[in-house]
Amino acid sequence: MTKKVLLIEDEPSIIQAISFILSRDGWTVDSHADGATAIEAVARKRPDVVVLDLMLPNRSGLDILTDLRANAETEALPVLMLTARGQKRDREMAERLGATLFMTKPFSNAEVLASVNALAGAA
């Protein structure tokens, strides 16, 4: 059975690129672009790994992460945070709120693939 990743990201080109890379590596990839309904998407898709952008329309990735960690069903769900803001305080905030990994844009495909696989192995 293939593992599932949910990509919560609002940039269509990034969604397509990451979906392509992970799909070719055997992942089942779903994507969701709206921050406001991201929690429902996680509950519905039940992914093995979440790739979560920090700046999303309608709701910040940090708020979504907080909700995920407050829910018993998702508190241990591996989350790779993506952000264009590589500032130290963003990273610290994401780690404090429970991000499993943190990656800044622009990233390489190999980094994303290696990180998602690492998170799946650790899960």
Partner 1 sequence: MTGSRIRERREVLGLKQAALAKAIGISPAYLNLIEHNRRRIGGRVLNDLARALGVDPSALTEGAEEALLEQLAAVAAGPDGETAEAIRSDDLATRFPGWTRTVVAQARRIEALERTVATLSDRLTHDPFLSESLHDVLSTVSAIRSTASILVETPDIEPEWRDRFQRNVFEESARLAEGARTLVGYLDAGAAEDASVNSPQEELEAWLAARGHWIAPLEEGSTTPEDLLNAPDAPGSQSARTLAASYLRRYAAEARQMPEAAFRAAIEDLGNDPAALARQFDMPLSAVLRRMAVILGDDAGLVICDGSGTLTHRKPLAGFALPRFGAACPLWPLYRVLGRPSAPLRARIALAGRQRLEFIAYAVCDASQPRSFDATPVFEAVMLLLPAAAGPEPQGDPVGISCRICPRTSCAARREPALIADTV
Interface contacts to partner 1, rule CB under 8 A: 11-14, 16-18, 20-21, 24, 55, 84-85, 105-109, 112
Residue 37 or residue 60: which is nearer to partner 1 going by CB?
60
Name the residue nearer to partner 1 (CB basis): 4 or 107: 107
CB of 86 to partner 1, least distance (A): 8
SS3 sequence of the chain: CCCEEEEECCCHHHHHHHHHHHHHCCCEEEEECCHHHHHHHHHHHCCCEEEEECCCCCCCHHHHHHHHHHCCCCCCCCEEEEECCCCHHHHHHHHHHCCCEEEECCCCHHHHHHHHHHHHHHC
To partner 1, the closest distance from the beta carbon of 51 in angstroms equals 12
Q: Is 22 or 77 the residue whose CB approaches partner 1 more closely?
A: 22
